[in-house]
């Protein structure tokens, strides 16, 4: 394997029915930006060619026949033609089992390359959950499918990142009526620990973490809900006793006022349920948001938006979130490489 000192990223297009092929083509078409990493693109060749056509750009890549030896010395992205068990051509702007199969198989290969140490991080284009489930995925989301694919037994969490602000959540893809019963001290502490670890992994040396309450106005001293008094507050105190840099709980309707702008008070907000943080982050910058599959042994990022079937093929997809996901994957991939070197010393 001939490598440079750059981070090595394994990339896949995501669901072929959506805007992923266009976004990855736009990203790689900017050689000044894409030159920050050594890139292995795993994709169906016709899909990527179509993405370049829609994006009105041309990526100069080196096609490779196998993945045994990766030579990045040319400075060009390496392209490996692969579609797994899926069949081409793919239907556009629709959820299909074939598109879901392609999404899962290409992502599984990128994950395996990174698990082997041939690449340092994974970046994937937007996925469509309905397509993934039609293809046989049994998990609620791709994070837990990735966890199983990696054979990872520890905790994990989906993080959202916007302009350096991170959010995580104690509960995620569950019905709102189930949230209160799932909030535990251990769960809050685990969420704090996970985001602290990922912040440090991304280059934040001294993270500052705010923790949300669950109820309106933090329950107003128990007037309408005691979770802040009985569970969340004690969890924050225990976390601080463990050396974790957490404050709170803060009312969810004001905490995001403390984290806007360059002089924000905190680097991350731990929320209690999915939309408590997602609504705020997406209002602050929908087309810049990144999702990090956190708590896993390898760095994995993706743009936080979806497949946008309504604009497929129109050449209007905004590449902002994909650029942010790429830059974060580069930072985390570099840290991954340095960590491996440290373990070998």
Q: With a cut of 70, say whether residue 217 has pLDDT above it.
A: yes
Share of the chain above pLDDT 70, in %: 97
Same domain, 193 and 335: no
Picking from 241, 267, 288, the residue at the C-terminal end of a domain is 288
Q: Please state whether the predicted TM-score (pTM) of the whole model is above 0.85.
A: yes
Same domain, 252 and 300: no
Would you state the pLDDT for residue 341? 46
β 157-162/290-294 pair status: antiparallel
- Average pLDDT over the chain, rounded to an integer: 95
Would you state the pLDDT for residue 2? 56
> Which of 4-7's residues contact partners 24+ apart within 8 Å by CB, and which partners?
4/38, 4/72, 4/73, 6/36, 6/37, 6/38, 6/72, 7/36, 7/37, 7/38, 7/120, 7/121, 7/329, 7/330, 7/331, 7/333, 7/334, 7/336, 7/337
Same domain, 23 and 67: yes
CATH number of the domain where residue 245 is located: 3.40.718.10
Same domain, 261 and 325: no
Q: With a cut of 90, say whether residue 246 has pLDDT above it.
A: yes
Would you state the pLDDT for residue 1? 54
Which pLDDT band holds residue 340 (cuts at 50, 70, 90)? Answer: low
Which pLDDT band holds residue 223 (cuts at 50, 70, 90)? Answer: very high
Tally of domains within the chain: 2
Picking from 288, 313, 328, the residue at the C-terminal end of a domain is 288
Answer whether residue 171 is part of any domain.
yes
Answer whether residue 157 is part of any domain.
no
β 165-169/157-162 pair status: antiparallel
Would you state the pLDDT for residue 212? 98
The count of C-alpha atoms lying within 13 angstroms of the C-alpha of 55, restricted to the half-sphere facing its C-beta, is 24
Answer whether residue 38 is part of any domain.
yes
Same domain, 100 and 194: no
Q: Are 10 and 42 in contact (CB under 8 A)?
A: yes
Which pLDDT band holds residue 253 (cuts at 50, 70, 90)? Answer: very high
Q: Per the structure block, which two tokens stand in for 309?
A: 């079937």
Q: Are 249 and 276 in contact (CB under 8 A)?
A: no
pLDDT in tens, 290-304: 999 999 999 999 999
Picking from 253, 270, 288, the residue at the C-terminal end of a domain is 288
Same domain, 121 and 195: no
Answer whether residue 28 is part of any domain.
yes
Answer whether residue 104 is part of any domain.
yes
Please give the Cα distance from 214 to 227 (Å, whole number). Answer: 7
Same domain, 203 and 309: no
Which pLDDT band holds residue 91 (cuts at 50, 70, 90)? Answer: very high
Weakest-pLDDT range from 93-97, 179-183, 238-242, 281-285: 281-285
Q: What is the maximal distance between C-alpha atoms in the chain?
A: 66
Q: With a cut of 90, say whether residue 80 has pLDDT above it.
A: yes
Same domain, 259 and 129: no
Length of the chain, in residues: 345
Helix orientation angle between 185-201 and 320-344, rounded to the nearest 10 degrees? 90
Please give the Cα distance from 13 to 143 (Å, whole number). Answer: 17
Structural domain boundaries, residue 314 = 1-152+296-345
Would you state the pLDDT for residue 345? 33
- The torsion angle over the Cα atoms of residues 149, 103, 307 and 302, rounded to 10 degrees, is 40
CA separation, residue 193 to residues 114, 166, 292, 319 (Å): 24, 13, 15, 31
Would you state the pLDDT for residue 343? 45
Same domain, 212 and 319: no
Minimal CA–CA distance to 92: which of 13, 14, 11, 19?
Answer: 19
pLDDT in tens, 112-162: 999 999 999 999 999 999 999 999 999 989 999 999 999 999 999 999 999
Would you state the pLDDT for residue 144? 94
Same domain, 254 and 301: no
Same domain, 72 and 217: no
Q: Per the structure block, which two tokens stand in for 66?
A: 């196998």
Would you state the pLDDT for residue 344? 33
Instruction: Note the Cα 133 to chain centre separation in Å.
Output: 19
Share of the chain above pLDDT 90, in %: 92
Q: Are 23 and 34 in contact (CB under 8 A)?
A: no
pLDDT in tens, 318-335: 999 999 999 999 999 999
Answer whether residue 206 is part of any domain.
yes
Answer whether residue 129 is part of any domain.
yes
Same domain, 251 and 306: no
């Amino acid at each position: 394997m001939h490598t440079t000192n750059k981070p090595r990223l394994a990339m896949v297009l995501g669901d072929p029915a959506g805007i992923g092929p266009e976004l990855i083509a736009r990203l790689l078409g900017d050689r000044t930006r894409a030159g920050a990493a050594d890139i292995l693109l795993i994709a169906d060749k016709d899909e990527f060619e179509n993405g370049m056509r829609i994006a009105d750009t041309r990526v100069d890549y080196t096609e490779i026949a196998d993945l045994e030896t990766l030579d990045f010395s040319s400075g060009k992205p390496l392209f490996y033609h692969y579609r797994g068990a899926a069949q081409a051509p793919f239907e556009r702007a629709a959820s299909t089992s074939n598109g879901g199969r392609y999404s899962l198989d290409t992502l599984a290969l990128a994950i395996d390359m990174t698990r082997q140490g041939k690449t340092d991080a994974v970046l994937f284009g937007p996925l469509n959950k309905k397509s993934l489930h039609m293809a046989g995925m049994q998990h609620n989301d791709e994070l837990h499918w990735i966890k199983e694919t990696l054979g990872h037994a520890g905790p994990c969490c989906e993080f959202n990142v916007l302009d350096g602000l991170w959010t995580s959540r104690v509960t995620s893809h569950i019905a709102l009526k189930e949230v209160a019963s799932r909030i535990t001290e251990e769960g809050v502490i685990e969420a704090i620990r996970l985001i602290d670890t990922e912040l440090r992994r991304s280059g934040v040396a001294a993270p500052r973490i705010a923790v949300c309450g669950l109820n309106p106005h933090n329950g107003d001293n128990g007037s309408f809900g005691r979770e802040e008094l009985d569970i969340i507050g004690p969890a924050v105190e225990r976390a601080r006793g463990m050396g974790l840099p957490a404050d709170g709980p803060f009312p969810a309707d004001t905490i995001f006022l403390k984290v806007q702008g360059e002089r924000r008070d905190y680097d991350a907000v731990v929320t209690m349920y999915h939309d408590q943080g997602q609504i705020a982050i997406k209002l602050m910058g929908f087309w810049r948001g990144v999702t990090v599959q956190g708590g896993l042994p390898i760095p994995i990022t993706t743009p936080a938006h979806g497949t946008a079937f309504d604009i497929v093929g129109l050449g209007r997809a905004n590449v902002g979130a994909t650029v942010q996901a790429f830059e974060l994957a580069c930072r985390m991939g570099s840290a991954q490489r340095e960590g491996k070197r440290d373990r070998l010393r």
